[in-house]
Amino acid sequence: MNGFMRTRKQVLWWIFSGTKGGFNRAMILLELNREPQNANQLSQILELDYKTVRHHLGVLEKNGLLESVGSGYANLYFPQELDDGDKETLNYIFKKMGLERIG
């Protein structure tokens, strides 16, 4: 990590704005805020390749934005509870992307 700890705000900016897959990750997180789903359901709703969705779910889960329940193909994903600061950061990023707000 280049000799220093990244702040949560920096991580959120990187996940959603600093990488090519940020838009897809944002869409996945917004969809999971509507209703918990598995990777197959998300791939169908968002019209994304299943492997792409699995990759983005892994990034979101690794960075503490999602939690999964179950195992394998039936793994169901739930968004983690966000504190006010994280919501504010995400809503700002999503607004810049032309997306809706996270509740």
pLDDT in tens, 34-55: 999 999 999 999 999 999 999 9
pLDDT in tens, 60-92: 999 999 999 998 788 999 999 999 999 999 999
DSSP string, 53-82: HHHHHHHHHHTTSEEEES-GGG-EEEEPPP
What pLDDT was estimated at residue 5?
Answer: 60
Residue 92, domain extent: 8-96
What pLDDT was estimated at residue 2?
Answer: 52
pLDDT class for 1, splitting at 50, 70, 90? very low
What pLDDT was estimated at residue 71?
Answer: 84
Residue 2 lies in a domain: no
Report phi then psi at 61, rounded to 5.
-70, -45
Residue 49 lies in a domain: yes
Identify the three-state secondary structure at position 37: strand
Q: What is the CATH number of the domain that holds 69?
A: 1.10.10.10
**Average pLDDT value for residue range 11-36:** 96
Residue 3 lies in a domain: no
Residue 66 lies in a domain: yes
pLDDT class for 103, splitting at 50, 70, 90? confident
What pLDDT was estimated at residue 6?
Answer: 76
Number of domains in the chain: 1
